[in-house]
């Protein structure tokens, strides 16, 4: 009986050695077996959790990749419009850099495409906000300029502007401005829309013809300041000073 048990132990050991030899001979290690088992278990866990097999999971990955590409294309389109709107207004270099990176979406991993799409959307929103703020400020400035222009086109506004320009550009003080005020009150009542149907003289300084004032600005028909700038230059060239022009007007009834 003792010899029989020993024989059985020898057979078991021999079988284990043979199995080990088989594993080593095929290049299959214990570690590889463990890793393979881990992958099998992970796949089984995903399948159990989602109810999807490997083929179905692959199909959903393809759908996700396609959706990421479509979203990237839409984002690039919006970003291009934003860059066009920002041109010449605000710094959109951050958006331009994001667009350049996302433009490689066809060769990038899906995860990278998604990250760059989010980044590009963020940069586009920032750039658009900057453009909107720029436009708001420009609109405010335009409105302020229009209001100032409207004020300058009134007789009182025109007088105030003429007094400032006469002093700053020609050095003519209050005495000369008094003569100028009388001269243009007589000629036009300081009305930038004044027009003499008989002669064709136009505007505050009664330029003849009115087109002469275009040398001071293309808006000579609607801008009292342009008319005043031309009129002061004319007085300086033709008479030297407003009082000389006023004296000539009093004598000849024209200047």
Written as six digits, the tokens of 132 are 């909107």
The pLDDT value given to residue 57: 55
The pLDDT value given to residue 53: 52
Per-10-residue mean pLDDT, the chain, length 255: 42 38 41 50 49 59 92 98 98 98 96 97 98 98 94 96 98 98 98 96 97 98 97 98 98 95
CB 184 within 8 A of CB 193: no
Domain boundaries, the chain: 60-153, 154-252
Buried b or exposed e, range 78-96, using 16+ CB within 10 angstroms? ebeebbebbeeebebeebe
CA distance to 78, 146, 222, per residue, from 154 (Å): 46, 13, 12
As a dihedral over the C-alpha atoms of residue 29, residue 30, residue 35, residue 41, rounded to 10 degrees, the angle is 130
The pLDDT value given to residue 55: 59
Radius of gyration of the chain (CA): 44
Dist. CA 117–CA 99, nearest whole Å: 9
Tell me the whole-structure pTM to 2 decimals: 0.61
The pLDDT value given to residue 61: 84
The pLDDT value given to residue 60: 72
User: Helix, strand, or coil here: 207?
Assistant: strand
* DSSP track, 210-225: GGGGGGT-TTTTT-HH
């Amino acid at each position: 009986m003792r010899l029989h048990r020993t024989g059985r132990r020898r057979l078991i050991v021999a079988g284990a050695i043979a199995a080990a030899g088989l594993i080593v001979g095929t290049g299959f290690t214990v570690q590889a077996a463990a890793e393979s088992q881990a992958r099998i278990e992970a796949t089984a866990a995903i399948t159990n959790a989602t109810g999807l097999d490997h083929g179905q999971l692959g199909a959903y990955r393809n759908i996700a990749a396609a959706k990421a590409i479509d979203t990237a294309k839409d984002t690039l389109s919006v970003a291009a419009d934003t860059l066009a709107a920002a041109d010449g207004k605000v710094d959109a270099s951050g958006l331009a850099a994001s667009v350049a990176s996302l433009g490689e979406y066809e060769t990038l991993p899906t995860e990278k495409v998604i990250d760059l799409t989010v980044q590009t959307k963020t940069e586009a929103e920032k750039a658009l906000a900057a453009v909107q703020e720029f436009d708001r400020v420009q609109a405010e400035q335009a409105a302020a300029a229009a209001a100032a222009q409207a004020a300058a086109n009134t007789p009182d506004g025109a007088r105030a502007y003429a007094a400032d320009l006469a002093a700053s550009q020609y050095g003519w003080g209050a005495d000369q401005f008094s003569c100028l005020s009388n001269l243009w009150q007589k000629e036009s009542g300081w009305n930038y829309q004044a027009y003499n149907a008989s002669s064709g003289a136009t505007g505050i300084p009664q330029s003849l013809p009115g087109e002469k004032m275009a040398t001071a600005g293309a808006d000579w028909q609607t801008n009292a300041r342009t008319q005043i700038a031309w009129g002061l230059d004319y007085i300086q060239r033709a008479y030297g000073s407003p009082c000389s022009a006023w004296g000539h007007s009093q004598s000849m009834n024209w200047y």
